[in-house]
Amino acid sequence: MIPVQVVGLGMSPVDLTPRLLKIIAEAQVLVGGRRLLGYFPDHPAVKIPLGKDLEETLRQIPALSATQRVVVLASGDPNFYGVGPLVVKLLAPGQVVLHPNITAVQAACARLKISWEDAAVVSLHGRSWGPLETALQQGGKLIIYTDPEHTPAAIARFLRDRGLSQVRLCVLENLGQETERFRVLSTKEAQEQEFSPLNLVVVLPESAEDGDLTSREPGRGAAVKGPEPSPAGSAALHLGLPEAALVHEGGLITKAEVRAVVLAKLQLHPGQVLWDVGAGCGSVALEASLLLPGGHVLAVEQNPARAAQIRLNRQKYQVVNLKVICGQAPGCLEGLPSPQRVFVGGGGRGLPEIIKEVIRRLGKEGRVVLTATLLQTLEMAQEVLGQAGWEVEVIQLQVSRLRPLGEGTFFQALNPVWIITGCPKGG
């Protein structure tokens, strides 16, 4: 059997070394996508185009390589979201020689004059939005391989819907071709543009290095300057945010000390779904997002003005795993993904029905935490949870903060808060 050569072309045949050009010239069978085979129109080899079912086509290679020199053409680096691992899987490591080349990621960052060792690389090619959702939770630079469904415009809408309308999208089209260009766009601008099918998207947060972020057209110098970053940059989300750091209405916010205890009682784990019912300005939901990598927070708020505050706070802190539902519970909970954790910070007279719906939707390992400032609310929560046979824990939290008074200081007491935790017995 003659070893199969898998050759990365880089951005185009211009990136090929003389040694790699010789390997391709001596091939008796050329395998690759139609675009890559099109670079060698006069090559005398038998040409096998790769279609949608890559594995089925590549299964021909072992028999062909028994007597012929087979070269598989790959874009970029065959081992970087490429065909290389599949060829090795179908043959054997000893029967394959891999030749790496420049990747689209390297080329894109070179064009933009930015570093890429700190970037997260995501491929949406033939995949769901899940990998992007996960990568967004880490923050920082993103480099995205697209496909006809996950276009730059669709990516811009996806980012906007998650409160990331302030990021910059660098869309690089036809890398390595004569028609190569890149544009630096806002999410709004990107939603309104059309792009070449051959493209790569780089997402930069407001605080990212600028490099040479000037849009460039084919064969031309600087064109249109991209959107300027906000002078203040994006705020850093952390546990224990002071109330002044969030948009809220007249003190209607869960105080930082209460948030800390609530989050501890929730016992959040990566990948879980949390409902924050009666979310107010979203203070608990925002901080909970930090403790739920790979998970989701659904902030439910019936007051449209407060729901808008959650969205503003989400955008300010660029939280991507938080969704806002403006509706009245328990009715609006019906179509939501089932949670593993629930925080109820409001509810009023509808609280008993909300708790019953939460009990119905939570599993055996579920946990609900409620806060109450009224004795009647405490009694109501205890009664409903107790009737369901759930274990109930109640603590009272009394917080006093040091304040100036005349030439001295004193401790100003905040309203006491009861924190109720419920979980199924044995859960």
pLDDT band (50, 70, 90) for residue 225: very low
The residues near 145 (Cβ < 8 Å, ≥ 6 apart) are: 81, 104, 121, 122, 123, 124, 125, 200
Residue 244, pLDDT score: 87
Confirm if 27 and 114 have CB atoms less than 8 A apart: no
Domain ranges in the chain are: 4-102, 105-225, 243-424
Q: Mean of the pLDDT values across residues 154-160? A: 92
Q: Confirm whether 4-102 and 243-424 share one CATH topology.
A: no
CA distances from 277 to 149, 196, 243, 298, 356 (A): 34, 44, 19, 8, 13
Confirm if 284 and 241 have CB atoms less than 8 A apart: no
CATH topology of domain 4-102: Cobalt-precorrin-4 Transmethylase; domain 1 (3.40.1010)
Total-model pTM:
0.57
Confirm if 57 and 48 have CB atoms less than 8 A apart: yes
Decide if pLDDT at 142 tops 70: yes
- Which of 3.90.550.10, 3.40.50.150, 3.40.190.10, 3.40.50.300 is the CATH number of 243-424? 3.40.50.150
d(CA 284, CA 286): 5
CATH class held by domain 105-225 = alpha beta
Q: Mean of the pLDDT values across residues 51-72? A: 91
Residue 229, pLDDT score: 37
Q: What percent of the chain has pLDDT over 70?
A: 93
Decide if pLDDT at 413 tops 90: yes
Decide if pLDDT at 1 tops 90: no
- Convert the pLDDT of each residue in 99-125 to its tens digit: 999 999 999 999 999 999 889 999 998
pLDDT band (50, 70, 90) for residue 339: very high
Higher pLDDT, 228 or 255: 255
Decide if pLDDT at 214 tops 80: no
Which range, of 201-215, 241-255, 337-351, averages the lowest pLDDT?
201-215
Nearest CA to 426 out of 381, 361, 363 is that of 363
Residue 160, pLDDT score: 87
Where is mean pLDDT largest: 124-128, 243-247, 416-420? 416-420
- Convert the pLDDT of each residue in 272-326 to its tens digit: 999 999 999 999 999 999 999 889 999 999 998 899 899 989 988 889 899 999 9
Confirm if 321 and 296 have CB atoms less than 8 A apart: yes
d(CA 1, CA 33): 24
Q: Mean of the pLDDT values across residues 80-106? A: 93
Phi, psi dihedral angles at 199 (to 5 degrees): -150, 165
Amino acid at 384: V
